[in-house]
Structure 1
Amino acid sequence: MSAPGTPGGAGAAAGVGTVAVVGTGVVGVGWTALFLARGLHVRAFDPAPGAEDRLRADLAALGPFPGHDGPLPVANLVFAGSAADAAGPAGFVQENGPEREDLKHTLLAELDSAAAPGVVLASSSSGLLPTTIARGAARHPERVLVGHPFNPPQVIPLVEVVPGERTAESAVEAALAFYTALGKRPVRLRAEVPGHLANRLQAALWQEAYSLVERGVATVADVDAAISHGPGLRWAVLGPFANQHLSGGPGGLAHILEHLGPPTERWWRDLGQVTLTPELAATLVDGVRDELGDLDGSALAARRDSVLAALLEAKSRTELP
Structure 2
Amino acid sequence: MWQPSIAPGAVDRIACVGAGVIGGGWVAHFLARGHRVTAWDPAPDAEERLRRIVGAAWPALESLGLAEGASPDRLTVAATLEEAVADAEFVQESAPENLELKSDLLARIDAAAPIGVVVGSSTSGYRMTDMQAAAAHPERLVVGHPFNPPYLVPLVEVVGGERTDRAAVEWAAEFYTLTGKRVVLMDREVTGFIANRLQEALWREALHMIAEGEATVAQIETAVTAGPGLRWPFHGPSTTFHLAGGEGGIAHALDHFGVDGPWTRLDSPPLTDELRKALVTGAAEVTGGRPAAELIAERDRRLIAVLRALREAGA
TM-score (normalised: structure 2)? 0.79
Match of 1:189 in 2: 186
Counterpart of 1:81 in structure 2 is 79
Query: In the alignment, is the contact (CA less than 8 A) between 2:35 and 2:70 conserved in 1?
Result: no
Deviations, residues 242-276 of structure 1 (Å, cap 9, x unaligned): 12112211111011111111xx51426x5169xxx
Tell whether the 8 Å contact from 1:24 to 1:55 is kept in structure 2 after alignment: yes
Quote the residue 1:303 is aligned against.
Answer: none
1:22-101 correspondence runs (5 A): 22-62=17-57, 63-65=59-61, 67-68=64-65, 73-101=71-99
Structure 2 Cα separation of the partners of residues 198 and 242 of structure 1: 16
- Report SS of the residue matched to 1:28: helix
Q: Is the 8 A contact 1:130 1:164 kept in 2?
A: yes
After TM superposition, where is structure 1 displaced by more than 2 Å over at least 4 residues in a row? 1-4, 65-72
Native 8 Å contact 1:21 1:42 kept in 2: yes
What SS does the aligned partner of 1:108 have? helix
Residue among 149, 157, 160 paired with 2:157: 160
Report Cα offsets for 1:66-90 as digits up to 9, x if no partner.
7436996122111011112111111
Kept in 1, the 8 Å contact 2:144–2:156? The answer is yes
Aligned partner of residue 136 in structure 1, secondary structure? coil
2: CA distance, partners of 1:171 / 1:145: 7
Q: Deviations over 1:35-87 (max 9, x none)?
A: 00101000100000110011112211223137436996122111011112111
2:109 corresponds to: 111
**Is 2:265 aligned against 1:271?**
yes
Instruction: Say whether the 8 Å CA contact 1:33–1:154 is kept in structure 2.
Output: yes
1:289 aligned residue: none
Alignment map for 1:1-321 (pairs within 5 Å): 1-4=3-6, 14-62=9-57, 63-65=59-61, 67-68=64-65, 73-137=71-135, 139-261=136-258, 264-267=259-262, 270-271=264-265
* Equivalent pair of 1:107/1:136 in contact (CA under 8 Å): no
190-199 vs 36-45, greater mean Cα deviation:
190-199
Give, in angstroms, the shift of residue 127 of structure 1: 0.4
Structure 2 residue ranges without an equivalent (≥5): 268-304, 310-315
CA contact (8 A) 1:104 1:136 kept: no
State the aligned residue count: 265
Aligned counterparts of 2:65 and 2:28: Cα–Cα separation in 1: 10
Distance 1:72 1:18 in 2: 13
| Identity over aligned pairs, percent | 49
- In structure 2, the residue corresponding to 1:145 is in which secondary structure? strand
Aligned residue for 1:135, secondary structure, equals coil
**Per-residue deviation, 1:29:** 1.1
Contact 2:8/2:172 (CA < 8 Å) preserved in 1? no
Q: Is the 8 A contact 2:85 2:91 kept in 1?
A: yes
CA contact (8 A) 1:3 1:16 kept: no
In structure 1, what residue type is equivalent to 2:65?
Answer: H
Partner Cα separation in structure 2 for residue 57 and residue 258 of structure 1: 54
Map Cα deviations across residues 206-230 of structure 1 (whole Å, 9 max, x no partner).
Answer: 1111001111111011011101100
Determine the C-alpha separation between the residues in 2 that align with 1:68 and 1:132.
38
Stretches of structure 1 lacking an aligned partner (at least 5 in a row):
5-11, 274-309, 315-321
Partner of 1:280: none
What secondary structure does 1:42 align onto? Answer: strand
Output one character per residue of 1:185-206: Cα deviation in whole Å (capped at 9) or x when no partner: 1101222121111101111111
Counterpart AA for 2:120 = A
